[in-house]
Chain A
Amino acid sequence: NAGVTQTPKFRVLKTGQSMTLLCAQDMNHEYMYWYRQDPGMGLRLIHYSVGEGTTAKGEVPDGYNVSRLKKQNFLLGLESAAPSQTSVYFCASSPHGAAGLVGNTGELFFGEGSRLTVL
């Protein structure tokens, strides 16, 4: 049981290049999230998904696109990378979105992060 796996773990891009970060979870979770973390700051939500085929914007969605074609995968794309997108990206998943469900702590399970540098 791998949990939440992010690939790649490190990447260096030049301004204007594109790339895709892959998040895969093997826990059959409905909900998946992409966060970014900048030095000295907490995590900020980029996009999230409440189920296969659905996506929604978070706090800082500009410059990113996402897709959830398969339940277990959540892809984060940068079409034209900018230096401001240099960050550590974390993917997370959770089985449910609403509190109060029996046996549901509402816990988010995070991946180990992907460090992206845009030159």
Chain B
Amino acid sequence: DAKTTQPTSMDCAEGRAANLPCNHSTISGNEYVYWYRQIHSQGPQYIIHGLKNNETNEMASLIITEDRKSSTLILPHATLRDTAVYYCIVRFIIQGAQKLVFGQGTRLTINP
């Protein structure tokens, strides 16, 4: 299983861009990178995913390096409500079902 490595914690000022890095050096060619976040003890929430191209949606942008060994999640204008644990996940398929292997994630704190 491809593993991901993330910093344990990060801080960011409100209104600034939050850049969360992730290393996934053992990722295979057909494995997607997914980002989820978990606020307090709620269920994780999907943010964005990508294979090799950069992606953007209403929540965030995902920048994947050309060799696909690392990626960065960007929250362009962080708010206090973005304080959460962010998980970078490599997704692969087993028996037709997607399998997400969660690491410990990055605890992002947005400061006023």
Q: Is the CB of A90 within 8 A of B93?
A: no
- The residues of A that contact B93 with a CB separation of less than 8 Å are 97-99
Residues of A participating in the B interface, judged by any CB pair closer than 8 Å:
4, 31, 33, 35, 40-45, 48-50, 56, 58-59, 88, 90, 92, 94, 97-99, 105-113
Would you give the 0/1 interface string for B25-43, flagging 1 where the beta carbon is closer than 8 Å to chain A? 0000000101010000111
Residues of A within 8 A of B105 (CB): 42
Known: A42-B87, A113-B43. A58 touches B99 (CB 8 A): yes
Whether A105 contacts B95 by the Cβ 8 Å rule is: no
Chain A hits for B32, CB < 8 A:
99, 106
- Contact check, B100 vs A108: say whether CB atoms are below 8 A apart: yes
Write the nearest CB–CB distance from B63 to chain A, whole angstroms: 18
Beyond A42-B87, A42-B103, whether A110 also contacts B44 by CB under 8 A is: yes
Cβ–Cβ < 8 Å partners of A43 in chain B: 44, 87, 100, 102
Interface size, B (range): 20 to 34
Q: How far is the CB of B48 from chain A (nearest CB, A)?
A: 9
A49-B40 Cα distance, complex, nearest whole Å:
27
Alpha-carbon distance A39/B23, docked complex (angstroms): 23
Q: Is B54 an interface residue (CB 8 A)?
A: no
With A43-B102, A56-B97, A98-B98 as known contacts, state yes or no: A111 contacts B87, CB within 8 Å: no
Per the bound structure, the CA–CA distance linking A109 and B45 in Å amounts to: 7
Taking CB as reference atom, which chain B residue is nearest A113?
A: B43
